[in-house]
Amino acid sequence: MPSPFFTSPVHEFELGKFVAFKEVPARVTTILDQIRLSKLGDVVPARDFGTAPIDRVHSLAYRTYLKHAYKDWCDRGGNPEGVFPDVFPVRVAGNLRRWGKGDDSSDTAQKFSYTADGGLGGSAGYYCFDMTGVITDGTYEAAYAAAQVALTGAELLVQEKQHAVFSLCRPPGHHAHSDICGGYCFFNNAAIATRYLSEKLKVGKVAIIDIDYHHGNGTQDIFYSESNPLYVSLHAALDYPYYWGSEVEVGENEGEGFNVNVPLKLGTRDEEYVAALKEVLDTRVAPYNPDCVVVSLGVDTFVNDPIGAFFLTTPVYTEIGRLLGSLQRPTLFVMEGGYAIPDIGVNVTNVLHGFESRFPAQS
Ligand SMILES: [Zn+2]
């Protein structure tokens, strides 16, 4: 089984500078140490479900790109620290639609070896929306492993009838679209687990509650036209990923009304956050009556987080867990962001302790 420690980029690009990469392996060890101390439950290794559940969310072209991107990059003389796109197809996205879904069969395409993804030189930008989706040696293996961790959690939740399972995924996933990486995310672990819960484990309706500081643009996009799952996100307004997360994004077609964004102001504090969470749980999640809940658990809402700009304190994570537990549904917690080492361990276990407090103790 691949290890989440396989990927460890050195730098990311921020405010015009290469700065230390914040999504580091120590995040996992810090949280795992705290989980063990907390005696919340057994720590079990992930099982391997193969690529099929990943391919239910991500395109084969994208997965194939991720698998080979780093070697191709290095072969072209790229910086061995990782793949950094130098061209993004943002405003020509409309033009790319002419290529259809991988249909590169026109005479021009064949004559000049055009492909929809821009070929070897263009694919880095085509499959990525920013410069924190840094692909390096081992990224594919780590992302694959993280997806298996989420899938294992889904299976344990249902087949062992647990009321909660925590999947300690790294890299995180909620910024990853079906064929675009970014925001430290490559495979969308929560989305992969959700599809597996619906399609393989037949759980019925799933509600995804995304409490990471950032909007989960990838998860939103993947399920935007579907009425199951319900996607609910509380996040900072006017912060990364900038172009997604407003209240007017409500879903489309069959999915209209099943995408709920709750943008909160920068500087949001404990009481405001708890009130917003309680309201959306009461007014949107509970009436949906989900059979099962997937929580995209980010703790970059913490006051000392080096990325987030909310002011949540460590004790309020227990209250957040209690509120999530008030739904009384089997719940899979999938780790997303949180970069304030070492506080992230306690903040995560506080959420889980709060959740547990709403369920009678098991003998
Ligand atoms: Zn985040």
Cα distance between residue 14 and residue 17, in whole Å: 5
- Amino acid 96 reads L
Measure 74 CA to ligand 1 centroid, in angstroms: 29
- Average of per-residue pLDDT across 6-21: 85
Between CA 328 and CA 101, with CA 246 as vertex, the angle to 5 degrees is: 95
Query: What is the Å distance from ligand 1's center to 171 Cα?
Result: 12
User: pLDDT value at position 343?
Assistant: 96
Name the band, by pLDDT with cuts 50, 70 and 90, for residue 14: confident
> Ligand 1 mean position to 296 CA, how many Å?
10
Residue from 255, 305, 277 nearest 211 by CA: 277
Which is higher by pLDDT, 274 or 1? Answer: 274
Q: Ligand 1: distance of its center to the CA of 298 in Å? A: 6
How high does pLDDT run on average in the chain? 92
- Which two tokens mark 179? 């064929």
**Beta partners for residue 296, in sequence order:** 210, 334
pLDDT of residue 327: 98
pLDDT tens sequence across 247-257: 999 999 999 99
Count of CB atoms within 10 A of residue 338's CB? 27
- Secondary structure (3-state) at 361: coil
Residue 3 reports pLDDT greater than 60: no
Q: What span, in angstroms and rounded, lies between the C-alpha atoms of 266 and 308?
A: 9
- Catalytic sites, residue numbers: 175
Most confident of 23-27, 167-171, 356-360: 167-171
Written as one string, the DSSP assignment of 202-258 is ----EEEEE-SSS--HHHHHHTTT-SSSEEEEEEETTSTT-SS--TT----GGGTT-
Q: Is the pLDDT of residue 319 over 90?
A: yes
Least confident of 98-102, 147-151, 183-187, 254-258: 98-102
Distance 336 CA to ligand 1 centre (A): 7
81-101 average pLDDT score: 71
Distance CA 76, CA 281 (A): 50
User: Any idea where the domains of the chain sit in the sequence?
Assistant: 4-60+134-356
In 3-state terms, what secondary structure has residue 284?
helix
Query: Rounded to the nearest whole angstrom, what is the distance from the C-alpha of residue 123 to the centroid of ligand 1?
Result: 25
What is the C-alpha separation between 206 and 158, in angstroms, rounded? 13
pLDDT, residue 363, reads 45
Tens digit of pLDDT for each residue in 44-71?
Answer: 999 999 999 999 999 999 999 999 999 9
What contacts 300, CB < 8 A, 6 or more positions away? 212, 213, 214, 307, 308, 337, 338, 339, 340
Side-chain-side CA neighbours of residue 287 (13 Å): 8
**Cα 235 to ligand 1 centroid, rounded to whole Å:** 9
Judged on CB neighbours under 10 Å (0-12, 13-18, 19+), 99 is middle
Question: Tell me: domain 4-60+134-356, CATH 3.40.800.20, correct?
Answer: yes
SS3 282: helix
CA distance 243 to 241: 6
pLDDT tens digits, 70-87: 999 999 999 999 998 888
Q: Do the beta carbons of residue 178 and residue 222 sit within 8 Å?
A: yes
Separation between Cα atoms, residue 270 and residue 277, nearest integer Å:
11
Do 252 and 242 touch, CB atoms closer than 8 A?
no
Tell how far the Cα of 102 is from the centroid of ligand 1, in angstroms: 31
The alpha carbon dihedral of 140, 141, 143, 148 has a sign of: positive
- DSSP assigned state of 308: -
CA separation for the pair 66, 133 (Å, rounded): 11
For residue 18, report the phi and psi dihedrals to the nearest 5 degrees. Answer: -80, 120
240 Cα–ligand 1 center, Å: 8
